[in-house]
Amino acid sequence: MKVLPCALLASAALLSGCAGSSHPTETSSSSVHWYNPLSYSWSSALPWNWFGSSVAVSEEGVGKVTSLTAFNVEAITKGIGGDYTLRQGMGTHNGQIESYIQALQGQQVAMTFYGDSTVNKIEIADNSVGIPSDIRFGAPFSALFDKAYGHCQPGADSQHVQCKVPNSQHLEVIYQGEFSGPAGIMPADATLKQWTLSDIIWHA
């Protein structure tokens, strides 16, 4: 008859141990670091961040030039390094005068920067700048898009269209080709498939 009290005591001890293990102390829990996928910087895994060039396009800008970079030659030179010759100029856009700063490699314009107090737009037109692996100068429209609707708008003239890069908040691409219609009219998708990529644009 003494077996029953002993069994009850053993069961009580076992239950007490299990209950205690379900509430780890603050010290033990603080030493365990769980992987949280929401805290991981997924931007480093995105295809537009896979580059081989030291000056490359990203969601933040080009090289170290971002929307926080002052719009002047000195600040932009620091952001892209000394491999480029910079020159300032002025032009018109939609009837408005705007300033720009161009970065040249030799005689070739590689990048054009626009802004007011800070940089707000960069046009990339040369392969010396690292670009996303799925975007190539000279690539056909069909390499990125099946259709223009929802992605593109007419460009500066009837020979150009401007399209938002899929899965990007700050990158756009310009395609050029032959079109006999008036400016402001989007060419048919069948026509656009023959057009090729001529410029990449980053905007703040």
Nearest to 99 by CA among 119, 82, 85, 78: 119
- Tally helices (H) and strands (E) across the chain: 4, 10
Measure CA 34 to chain center.
Answer: 29
The residue that leads in pLDDT, 50 or 151, is 151
Q: Is the pLDDT of residue 179 over 90?
A: yes
pLDDT in tens, 75-120: 999 999 999 999 999 999 888 999 999 999 999 999 999 999 999 9
pLDDT in tens, 149-163: 999 999 999 999 999
Q: What is the pLDDT of residue 128?
A: 79
CA–CA dist 179, 160 (Å, integer): 9
